[in-house]
Amino acid sequence: MRRLTITTLALALLAAPVAVEAQQRQQPAAQRAPAQAAQGQDHPLVGRYEGSQQRFRQVRDYEETRFPTAAVRNRQGGQPRLDAGNSVAVAGKLTRLVYTGPADRSPLEVVRNLQERLERLGFGVVFTCRMAECGGSGSDLWFAVVNEPPIKQTIMPSNWEGGVYALLRWERAEGDVWVSLYGVPNAPGGGPATLVDVLETKGMERDKVVVVSADEMARAIAASGKVALYGILFDTDRADPRPDSRPAIEEIAKYLRANPQVAVIVVGHTDSQGGFDYNVDLSRRRAAAVVAILTREFGIPAARLTAFGAGMAAPVASNDTAEGKAQNRRVEIVKR
């Protein structure tokens, strides 16, 4: 096997990964990795395989995605899906990189070199597979891994029959790090294409949502017939509102009590991540859960409330950015 090329920073990380990583982040990028500066910075924990070329790099400070933890075999609407049964949902800083080459190397050799490098740093292997072991002929995992994360790119060739995948996790007190490695053959120019996703978990900034008051709801509904609420929060793939959604639901109840003649539609909305039919059903169940709380705990007559799920069909912003997705994940109160 050809050895894995790693920068001076990566060598230092072998001895003291946490402390050195923090120290190096304070240095200019040119000092950390001058050899790769023209192509884009490698992730310091992963490095790159000797002779490979970086073709894509994008970083988002906070994102949520799923990584496969088992073979991907289930389909919905003709497309493979990642869900709680075959993957793990994680959120934090996401770095997505794509490398191609070298021309005389296999995807297996490149991915295994990167995997061994990470294991030496303290990462543990969560899941690994090759070709049909990954689901179907390997195509199901290809679609899930390449298309599921919120950062899109078009460089990875669809040559899944020779694909190899590995998911690793490093458990740290300051936040876990997940690394997803996926290699396929026959990249442009020859050799493998390697997709590297690094997610450094961290807590999302809290207390950023302002609860819309009953009076503000009344003004918005009078002006436009609806109001968008961002204070009703849900965990990933769950329909029941989180406990911190209570203040927003209380304001809906106040508005309805102050306007007893009004009937409303409670509409659930999602971003574009996941299957269309799945998101429509999830948004409907979320809207129904809000209706159930309003009737059961606040005494609002069920005849005044209609639950509806719009899924991803009515975005108010682009789903290509984390900020846009956050705007699209909402509950709306629409005057009926």
94 forms beta bridges with 60, 199
pLDDT one-digit tens code per residue, 232-252: 888 777 889 988 889 999 999
The last residue of one of the domains, among 201, 226, 256, is: 201
Q: Do 171 and 241 belong to one domain? A: no
Give yes or no for a contact between 117 and 6, defined as CB atoms under 8 angstroms apart. Answer: yes
Residue 123 has pLDDT above 60, yes or no: yes
The last residue of one of the domains, among 201, 227, 257, is: 201
Q: Do 218 and 154 belong to one domain? A: no
What's the distance, CA 327 to chain centroid?
Answer: 15
pLDDT one-digit tens code per residue, 190-217: 889 999 999 999 755 555 556 889 999 9
95 forms beta bridges with 59, 198
Average pLDDT over residues 162-182: 92
Element of type H or E holding 286 = helix 276-298
- pLDDT of the residue at 7: 40
Average pLDDT over residues 316-329: 79
Write the single-letter amino acid at 324.
Answer: G
Give yes or no for a contact between 145 and 195, defined as CB atoms under 8 angstroms apart. Answer: yes
Average pLDDT over residues 255-260: 95
Q: Do 248 and 150 belong to one domain? A: no
The last residue of one of the domains, among 169, 201, 233, is: 201
Residue 272 lies in a domain: yes
Q: Cα-atom radius of gyration of the chain, to the nearest Å?
A: 23
Q: Do 60 and 184 belong to one domain? A: yes
Q: Do 189 and 274 belong to one domain? A: no
Q: Do 258 and 191 belong to one domain? A: no
Q: Do 178 and 282 belong to one domain? A: no
What's the distance, CA 38 to chain centroid?
Answer: 28
Structural domain boundaries enclosing 56: 44-201
Residue 12 lies in a domain: no
Q: Do 196 and 222 belong to one domain? A: no
Q: Do 49 and 197 belong to one domain? A: yes
**CB 187: neighbour CB atoms within 10 A?**
24
Helix or strand or coil: residue 86? coil
Residue 14 lies in a domain: no
Give the range among 51-65, 69-83, 164-178 with minimum mean pLDDT: 69-83
- pLDDT of the residue at 207: 54
